[in-house]
Structure 1
Amino acid sequence: MNAGLGLVEGPLHFLPAAAAAQAIAARELSPLELMKAHLDRIDKLDLKLNVFIRLDAEAALAAARVAETEAAAGRLRGPLHGVPVGIKDIIDVAGLATTCHSRILVDNVARSDAVCVSRLRQAGAIVIGKLSTHEFAIGGPSFDLPWPPARNPWNPGHHPGGSSSGSGSGVAAGLFPMALGTDTGGSVRNPASCCGIVGLKPTYGLVSRRGVFPLSFTLDHVGPMTRTVGDNALMLEAIAGHDPYDPGSAAAAAGRYGAAMDRGVRGLRLGFVRHFHETDLPAEPEVTAALEHVARTLQMMGADVRDVRLPSLGEFAAVNRIILQSEAWSVHARWLRERPGDYGRLARRRLLAGAFVSAGDYVAASRRRGQMIAAVNAALAEVDVLLCASSMDPACRIDRPADIDRTYTRQARTPFNVTGHPALAMMSGLSSTDLPLSVQFVGRYFDEAMLFRVARAWEKASGMDRKHPPIG
């Protein structure tokens, strides 16, 4: 080890992925030391949080030892060398079961890595285990499944968001610095909002979905979940890129998404979609106040903030619902007929709804989707980034199904699954009960770099990357 270059500050379990990788490259930090710190943290907290379906500790320690030997010899696999990553359990990891948090797939051992996992390994990351989700990324949080639902590290009595619930909870709690999630109606950005981390739904097709269990072919995305904007950009650089064997993959080269991240927002045009949280689904007052604070802060930093109108949240939600339910039914119809009792109650109820959607409804929704894409494109021709709400409420109690049903649809995330535009959710502040509040930034297709630029400006001004849950 070197004498020290000052790259490691604070507890290792809250060290950003980029800083950890730099410290490992400088031989200031051992990959084995980093992995043990996270495993100690997991041992301390996971009984409270239920983040893991399968912790693969022995394999992770073995990989960390190899990474340590390689680093000592100056052989770094990539920009994430030796950094732990958690994988949502609808994404294949070779040799581990992809259960989708369901009895249906308890013994479904993956033969190979999903493309996104393979690319993370190529960048040097070490898989630490498979993470809790809502059943098949649609039914949750549920208490009638083989594994309990993940909980919110800011208050374990509260919902962590979903469906990438273990990913959001684990990153926020310091069990690992980064995780993979998936997003069909907001499932990366919901836990990012509830748990106070950074969650990106990239442009549709930017990240391969091969090796990821589908929910809706038209709406599914894979995205990075991290504690900092910089880590999110670094992780996206590792997983993005064309996959000729994924029919939804875009023929676009991966970029250096964080290269302009610290340029600030002076001169940028931000479109504030106020009607989402003011009239479509009126937000809690603390959410509204936090959104106004974000807008004012960015304006004071030199951005031109102007109001923008899009189709209503009700219209977006209806189109999302029809497409999602129809396509999810096509995936699950056989199991729902043959093994309905093996689903949890929530997933069964939500998936069965697709059996009653007509072909005419699906075609009408698809046509309206095209018009919505045009509307968002037109707005983004006039501004550089959209600013809007993510969740309209802080996280509710996890043991109150009525509150979960009431708040789950009170969000502004589904519009950008419908249109496929990149969208990033992050913390905008804390509520009076010390639960995260959130903001969402939306960009043009394949312009994730601009999203990171705006998000980093807010992060730098607010210090949101330095706020951690009080647990542990």
Structure 2
Amino acid sequence: MTNLYNLTATELSPLIQSKQVSPVELMKSILTRIEEMEPRINAYITLTPELALQQAKNAENLIMKGFNQGPLHGIPIGMKDNLYTKGIRTTGGSATLEKFKPDYNATVVKKLLGAGGVMTGKLNMHEFGGGLTNTNLAFGNTRNPWNENFMPGGSSGGSAAAIKAGLTTLATGSDTFGSIRVPASMCGIYGLKPTYGLVSSYGVAPLAWSLDHVGPMARSVSDLALMLNEMAGYDPKDPGSMKTPNHDYTKTIGKGIKGVKIGVPSFFMKGLEPDVDKLFKAAVLKLEQLGAKMVEIEIPELSMSSYANYVITTGEASSYHYERLQEQSEKFADDVRIFFQTGVITNTPQYVRAQQVRRKLTDAFNKVFEKIDILVGPTIPIVPKPFAENFVEQNLSVTEKCMPFTSPANNTGTPSLSVPIGLASNGLPVGMQLIGAHFSEKLLLQVGARWEKTNPLVEKR
């Protein structure tokens, strides 16, 4: 049998339910892989092997008694380290929270474990979500499994790297200006930033309250759907949570994309590195061959997105971290400290204007989605880079280049799915993002699943 750590949850679930694979056997395969690869990848901040084995044994006992909690029963799941886990260290990737142990679980953690998931540990991240490279002075940089000298993307870099390296089957991520989609693109996996309010952010250490999204990351689109089925839903503890009907997000997978009208904003065709430009144009042609109707469109408001996101993120982050910045500023990495302190000098008129820009961009998106079904563009305009000695300057450069592509979906609260589209000339992955109208996750997953069948990556590690 193929190494269990390489299989998707969609592949493993029926094997577990039919007792061909035990959750303990699966967990031991993951832990062996972690022992082998984790020193090189550094995807975790805190490993929980004893807890994982105990949860796996509990899952196995339930299966043997004929009780099945669903498709995630016995499936290993890594939690990004900004999701609160009761009694287990939760650092947010920061030395300021090095010894913090919450006394409750985040809603997402509670839901996933309640669905039978087995927690492997807490995943590495860019400090408090404040960057896209996943450099981390407190706990070490996470490395890209395709090439350990390269960045995995951030801030959910530990999640993406762990999935790609077989150090977990599924993982959670959070996304304020690209933190699910950027590492998904750089590590060659699938990552979904859902509609704002679809998934509860209660118990998640915030970066910016009005822009934060929690979402699933996995090796397949069907795995994202399985996770979203459990993660989505109204939570009265989250002020931003939305009351929406329950959906089975697996239902549209397999329907194909014939007749789906896909818009390609000209804004997303500018400033692309050559490899990204080549791979994205080939992907657009492929989508057309698969039956989609491709339409070139103009959305001038996209040019304002980075300004709005930067002002709001720094303003809200500096508010949340105000006391820490006063009392423990030396414990922050320089890039994150500078980023957050920028927000201290943000004034009220700037913040209000940035929120007004968000409204204009949202209105523009709403008008576009009256005529087309989804938007498509490169996830980011650059290929993954080697870690630079000057990590502050590098994080600023990467963020400046990527934010125009990833921030629009955060500003508008619309869902966005990153899928791999091929390998750049340096041998590392490149991604494409699909953006839909609010609560159009089923359509995005439908299109993404059809794209996945094209085998966009040639596997080589």
Q: TM-score, normalised by structure 1?
A: 0.94
- Cα distance in structure 2, aligned partners of 1:274 and 1:41: 43
After TM superposition, give the deviation of residue 408 of structure 1 in Å: 2.9
Note the C-alpha offset of 1:468: 4.2
**Which residue, out of 132, 149, 155, partners 1:157?**
149
Residue 436 of structure 2, aligned match among 417, 435, 443 = 443
Is 1:256 the equivalent of 2:248?
A: yes
C-alpha distance in 1 between matches for 2:300 and 2:167: 39
User: What is the aligned partner in structure 1 of residue 337 from structure 2?
Assistant: 348
- Bigger shift: residues 404-413 or 332-341: 404-413
Is 1:208 the equivalent of 2:197? Answer: no
Matches within 5 A, 1:257-296: 257-278=249-270, 282-296=271-285
CA distance in 1, matches of 2:173, 2:160: 8
Per-residue Cα deviation, 1:50-90 (whole angstroms, up to 9, x for no partner): 11111100010111111111111211122200000000100
Distance 1:211 1:245 in 2: 9
Cα pair 2:134 2:152 within 8 Å, conserved: no
**Aligned with 1:425 (options 418, 421, 427):** 418
Aligned 1:75-114 pairs, distance under 5 A: 75-114=67-106
Q: Structure 2 vs 1, CA of residues 156 and 39 (structure 1 numbering), >3 Å: closer, same or farther?
A: same
1:453 aligns with 2:451: no
CA shift digits 1:384-442 (9 cap, x unpaired): 11111111111101234344432332221111100000001111100112100110001
Counterparts of 1:46-445 in structure 2 under 5 Å? 46-139=38-131, 141=133, 145-278=137-270, 282-311=271-300, 313-400=302-389, 401=391, 402-411=393-402, 412-445=405-438
Encode CA deviations 1:339-384: one digit per residue, 9 max, x unaligned. Answer: 1112111111110000111100011111111111000111111111
Distance 1:25 1:144 in 2: 39
Counterpart of 2:421 in 1: which secondary structure? strand
Q: In structure 2, how many angstroms separate the alpha carbons of the residues matched to 1:327 and 1:374?
A: 23
| Structure 1 SS opposite 2:51 | helix
CA shift at 1:15, angstroms? 0.4
Shift of 1:141: 4.8
* One of 40, 45, 63 as aligned partner of 2:37: 45
Question: Any idea what the Cα deviations from partners look like across 1:320-350, whole Å, max 9, x if unmatched?
Answer: 0111111111101111111111211111111
How many Å separate the matches in 2 of 1:277 and 1:97?
42
Deviations 1:131-187 (A, max 9, x none): 101111105757673310111000010000000110011011111111000000000
Alpha-carbon distance between aligned partners in 2 of 1:34 and 1:468, rounded to the nearest angstrom: 22
Equivalent position SS for 2:215: strand
Runs of 4+ in 1 over 2 A off after TM superposition: 139-146, 311-314, 399-409, 466-469
Q: CA RMSD in A?
A: 1.4
Q: Which amino acid aligns with 1:303?
A: A
Q: Distance in 1 between matches of 2:132 and 2:378?
A: 22
Secondary structure in 1 aligned to 2:300?
coil
Structure 1 residues 140 and 407: alpha-carbon distance in aligned structure 2, compared to 1, 3 A threshold = closer
2:172 is paired with a residue whose SS is strand
Which one-letter code corresponds to 1:359 in the other structure?
T
| Equivalent AA in structure 2 for residue 436 of structure 1 | P
Is the CA contact 2:195–2:415 (under 8 Å) kept in the aligned structure 1? yes
CA contact (8 A) 1:167 1:179 kept: yes
Paired residues in the alignment total 457
Task: Give yes or no for contact 2:264–2:297 (8 Å, CA) kept in 1.
Answer: yes
> Would you say the 8 A contact 1:396–1:403 is kept in 2?
no
Question: Does the CA contact (< 8 Å) of 1:311 and 1:372 recur in 2?
Answer: no
Alpha-carbon distance in structure 2 between the residues aligned to 1:469 and 1:116: 33
TM-score (norm 2): 0.96
User: Which sits farther off after the overlay, 140-149 or 71-80?
Assistant: 140-149
Instruction: For residue 47 of structure 1, give the secondary structure of its aligned residue in structure 2.
Output: helix
> Which range moved further: 167-176 or 393-402?
393-402
State the distance in 1 between where 2:22 and 2:458 align.
Answer: 25
Q: Shift in Å at residue 314 of structure 1?
A: 3.7
